[in-house]
Every structure is written in C-alpha cells, then in structure tokens.
C-alpha cells in the first residue's frame, strides 16, 4: 500500500461525518438520485443495502489492494469513507464529490450543518488483553495506574484513554484521540481471548456558525491536511507504533 499509514497497522481507514441539526427526509427518489450520481463518478459503488436502523449504505467490494469506498445516509447525518486508501488524494477526491453533490440532492445548507468530522482510524489485531496492553505500553508510569496498583491488583480491565483539545480560541476546531479496547471481562476472567482490533482514532471536528461560511468540500480538505499532520508527527509515533511494537513482541 502506498499510503504511509498502511504499514503501521493491520487496517487503516479515513471517514468523514457531517452531523445535521434537522433530520433528513430519506425519500426513495431523493436517495436513489443522490446515490446514482455518486455511482456515476465511482462505478464500483454498486451495492445498496438497508440496515435495521433504517440507515442506507452504498458501497463497493474490497479491491485487490484492500481499498473500499462506502457512503451512508441516516436521519441525522451523512457519513462516508475509505478503507485502506491508496492516497490522501483519493480520500480528498471522494469527499469532494460527495460533499459537492449532497447539498443540492439532499436540500442541505449552512443553517443545517452542526459539525463536520474527519476520522483517521488505525486497527491493530491483537489476541490478548487490550486494556492491559494499553496500560503497560502507554501508561506504565502514569499516576492513574500507580494509584490503583498494589500487591492485590489483578489484570487491568478498562484502559481506554480519550482526550480532546481545542485548536482555536473559539473552540470551533477540535481534535480528539480515542483508544478503543474490545476486550471483555469474560475474556480476562477465563484467559480465552479472541483476536480483535484494538483501535486508535484521531478525530478532527469543525463546528459551523462561528466564522464566514466555507464550503463542505474545502472544510474537509482542510481537516484532512491537519489530521495527516497530527497523525504523522504525534499519533503514529507516540501511540500507534508503540502499540504495534508491543503486539509484535508478544507474538
């Protein structure tokens, strides 16, 4: 994979989520016209399915390189993304098409936009206690761990750091890092672990209504650029790579 983050995890994905103040009216003709328009730009997106929660998803099969585009409509949000993208330009181009078409097809406008998010997701397959791995790798000397640890302490059962910071004085641009464990207490108790994804998420979030209106496509491009910079300089070297190395040392 040519994308630089593909080599540091088992699966890498970038998704974008536009959250709305008013619910979408997902009428048959509107949805099909929108999906057909996107499909003309990306012909491999030819699988349409409906989830139990009534969300509608247009997606493509995984390519030989593991890449897959998807687009999801639900009552309060528009979501789309790429799994294992070949380049950031592919992500930007997909977002540009979706976000330039969506306002006209779905009757969206600045007053309706609550916030736009771009998420970089790093999945690391690990058969073991995810929470213990995170605690040992990232928080071994942290006071929060030491105050809970003594001779009677058993394995860590919940360690999922989540932190957010404002990137502007107005707090309209924000960044979050979230580490998501999927280990259950049953697995810890029995010592029988499933091979599951330990995930690290970097989220860049922009709220509307603070400054002059900027197009959705331009906003997404700016979020992508800022997220790539933060992932390259901080999230990958300080979080993802140490976790990947810790997993590799136990195999």
pTM of the predicted model as reported, rounded to 2 decimal places: 0.93
3-state helix vs strand vs coil in the chain, percent to 5: 35, 30, 35
Q: Are 101 and 211 in contact (CB under 8 A)?
A: no
Residue 144 banded pLDDT, cuts 50, 70, 90: confident
* Best-predicted range by mean pLDDT (135-144, 150-159, 225-234): 225-234
pLDDT, residue 2, reads: 43
- Reported as a single tens digit per residue, the pLDDT across 100-117 is 999 999 999 989 999 999
Tracing tokens 């071994």 back to the chain, one arrives at: 140
Q: Flag whether pLDDT at 150 surpasses 80.
A: no
Smallest CA-to-CA distance from 11 within 196, 223, 192 is with 196
C-alpha radius of gyration, the chain, whole number: 20
pLDDT, residue 212, reads: 67
Among the CATH numbers 3.40.50.1220, 3.30.160.110, 3.30.70.890, 3.90.1150.10, which is that of 4-249? 3.30.160.110
Domain limits of the chain?
4-249
H-type helices in 107-232, by residue range? 130-138, 143-146, 185-190, 216-230
- Reported as a single tens digit per residue, the pLDDT across 121-140 is 999 999 999 999 999 999 88
List CB contacts of 215: < 8 A, sequence separation 6 or more: 99, 100
CA 26 to centroid of chain Cα atoms: 24
């Amino acid at each position: 994979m040519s994308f630089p983050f593909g080599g540091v995890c088992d699966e890498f994905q970038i998704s974008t989520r536009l959250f709305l103040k008013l619910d979408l009216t997902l009428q048959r003709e509107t949805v099909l016209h929108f999906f057909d328009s996107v499909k003309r730009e990306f012909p491999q997106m030819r699988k349409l399915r409906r989830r139990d929660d009534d969300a509608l998803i247009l997606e493509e099969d995984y390519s030989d390189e593991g890449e897959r585009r998807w687009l999801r409509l639900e009552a309060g949000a528009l979501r789309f993304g790429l799994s294992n993208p070949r380049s950031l330009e592919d992500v930007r181009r997909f977002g540009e098409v979706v976000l330039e078409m969506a306002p006209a097809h779905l009757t969206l406008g600045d007053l309706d936009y609550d916030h736009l998010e771009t998420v970089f997701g790093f999945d690391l397959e690990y058969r073991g206690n995810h929470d213990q791995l995170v605690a040992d790798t990232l928080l071994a000397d942290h006071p929060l761990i030491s105050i809970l640890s003594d001779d009677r302490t058993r394995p860590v059962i919940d360690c999922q750091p989540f932190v957010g910071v404002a990137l502007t004085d107005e707090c309209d641009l924000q960044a979050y890092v979230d580490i998501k464990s999927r280990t259950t207490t049953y697995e810890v108790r029995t010592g029988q672990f499933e091979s599951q994804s330990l995930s690290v998420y970097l989220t860049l979030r922009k709220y509307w209504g603070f400054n002059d209106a900027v197009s959705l496509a331009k906003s997404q491009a700016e979020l992508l650029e800022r997220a790539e910079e933060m992932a390259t300089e901080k999230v990958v070297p300080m979080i993802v790579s140490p976790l990947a190395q810790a997993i590799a040392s136990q195999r």
